C-alpha cells in the first residue's frame, strides 16, 4: 500500500473566515427549519449525495442510475469526470440540482499517475512540477466537451508523492476546468520527454473529502430500507441537505423579516443583515442564509464585510439565484 503524505496546501474552499455580529436577532421557531431537522421527504426534495465514482460509467449514466433508484425526475452532478476516472462526484437531487454550479468555485484535488516516456531524475521531476504552480495556459484535449481555445487555469499546489522508475504519483489542487491529462502532456514537454496520464482519481471537491463519499450500492440499500422497512436512519446518514453545497462560500445571515422579500426577487438591503463572514469583498459571491442556517439565495456582494458592518443604509448584496420557496417565512415586508 502506498504511503501518501498529507499535503499542507489549500484550495479556495479553505480560506479561514470568522463570523461577525452586526446586530443581535432571534428567529421565530414556527417558520423555517434547520437543515438537519428536515424529514427524509424534504431531503429527497432537495438533497445531495457524495458518490465514489467507479471506473467505467459516465457521470450521466450515474445520474440516470440514481434517478431510477430514487424514482426522481431531476438528478445532476457537479464536475464531469471521464469514464475511466474515479473519485468524488457530488450528485444533486430535486431542487438541489440548481445549486451544483456553486462547487465550480471551490477548487478540486486529484491524485494522478503520470507515465514518462524516458527516464528522468526525481529531483528534476520535482522541480518541473513545482514550476506549474500558479496560473497556466491550457488547450483542452481534442475529445472534450468545450471549445478548443487556450484558457487560463490556476494550479494551487502540486506534490510529488512517489516515483517508481518512469511512473510518477502526484497530487494536484487546481481550479475547476483544469485538464489533468493535458497537464501531464505539458509537464512531459517541459521535462524534455513525452508523458501521459496513466490513472486519475478525484480526492476532493471544495470541502467534500474522499472520506465523505459513498458507493451507489450504499444509496440503493439505504433507499430500499427506507421504502420497505421505513428505516430512515441509513438514508439520513448519506443524504445531505442542499446547504452542503454552500459550505465554502462566505455567508451573510439575515433577519426573518427580510427573508420573504428575497424569495420574491428583492436584493438584500443593509438593515436585513445581522451577521457577516469576514474576508468578503465587493463583487464576491456570497450565500444569503437564515438564522436557522437555511440557504435563501446565492448573491453578489455589493460591498465589503467592513462596509456591511458599518453602514445602516444602502445595498448589501445583489441576488442572483433564489433557493428558498416563497412563503417559507411570513411576508412581513408587504405590510410596510
d(CA 4, CA 251): 34
Contacts of residue 256, defined as CB under 8 A and 6 or more positions apart, other chains included, come to 25, 27, 28, 31, 32, 290, 291, 329, 330, 332
d(CA 33, CA 35): 6
82 is catalytic: yes
d(CA 61, CA 98): 19
DSSP-derived secondary structure letter, 278: S
Diameter of the chain measured on Cα atoms:
75
44-72 burial, b for 16+ CB within 10 Å, e for fewer? bbbbbbbbbbeeeeebeebbebbbeebeb
Q: Which residues pair with 289 in a beta bridge?
A: 253, 295
The one catalytic residue among 63, 82, 267, 277: 82
174-188 burial, b for 16+ CB within 10 Å, e for fewer? bbbebbbbbbbbbbb
Question: Three cell numbers at 225?
Answer: 430500507
d(CA 276, CA 305): 7
250, 255, 257, 258 alpha-carbon torsion, rounded to 10°: -20
d(CA 61, CA 150): 29
Question: Three cell numbers at 172?
Answer: 494536484
Name the residues annotated as catalytic: 82
Amino acid at each position: 500500500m502506498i504511503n501518501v503524505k498529507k499535503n499542507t496546501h489549500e484550495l479556495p474552499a479553505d480560506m479561514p473566515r470568522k463570523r461577525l455580529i452586526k446586530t443581535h436577532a432571534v428567529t421565530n421557531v414556527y417558520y423555517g427549519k434547520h437543515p438537519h431537522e428536515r424529514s427524509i421527504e424534504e431531503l429527497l426534495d432537495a438533497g445531495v449525495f457524495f458518490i465514489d465514482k467507479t471506473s467505467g460509467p459516465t457521470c450521466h449514466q450515474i445520474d440516470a442510475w440514481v434517478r431510477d433508484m430514487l424514482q426522481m425526475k431531476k438528478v445532476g452532478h457537479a464536475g464531469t469526470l471521464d469514464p475511466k476516472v474515479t473519485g468524488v462526484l457530488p450528485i444533486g437531487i430535486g431542487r438541489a440540482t440548481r445549486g451544483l454550479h456553486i462547487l465550480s468555485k471551490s477548487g478540486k484535488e486529484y491524485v494522478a499517475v503520470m507515465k514518462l516516456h524516458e527516464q528522468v531524475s526525481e529531483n528534476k521531476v520535482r522541480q518541473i512540477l513545482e514550476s506549474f504552480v500558479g496560473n497556466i495556459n491550457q488547450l483542452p484535449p481534442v475529445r472534450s466537451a468545450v471549445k478548443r481555445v487556450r484558457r487560463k487555469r490556476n494550479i494551487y499546489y502540486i506534490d510529488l508523492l512517489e516515483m517508481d522508475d518512469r511512473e510518477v504519483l502526484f497530487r494536484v489542487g487546481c481550479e475547476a476546468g483544469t485538464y489533468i491529462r493535458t497537464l501531464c502532456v505539458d509537464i512531459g514537454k517541459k521535462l524534455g520527454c513525452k508523458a501521459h496520464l496513466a490513472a486519475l482519481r478525484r480526492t476532493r471537491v471544495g470541502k467534500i473529502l474522499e472520506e465523505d463519499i459513498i458507493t451507489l450500492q450504499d444509496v440503493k440499500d439505504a433507499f430500499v430500507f427506507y421504502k420497505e422497512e421505513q428505516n430512515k436512519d441509513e438514508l439520513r446518514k448519506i443524504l445531505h441537505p442542499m446547504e452542503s453545497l454552500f459550505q465554502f462560500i462566505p455567508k451573510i445571515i439575515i433577519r426573518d423579516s427580510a427573508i420573504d422579500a428575497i424569495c420574491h426577487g428583492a436584493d438584500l438591503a443593509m438593515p436585513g443583515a445581522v451577521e457577516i463572514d469576514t474576508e468578503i469583498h465587493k463583487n464576491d459571491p456570497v450565500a444569503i442564509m437564515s438564522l436557522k442556517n437555511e440557504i435563501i439565495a446565492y448573491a453578489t456582494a455589493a460591498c465589503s464585510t467592513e462596509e456591511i458592518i458599518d453602514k445602516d443604509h444602502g445595498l448589501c448584496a445583489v441576488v442572483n439565484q433564489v433557493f428558498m420557496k416563497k412563503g417559507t417565512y411570513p411576508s412581513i415586508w408587504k405590510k410596510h
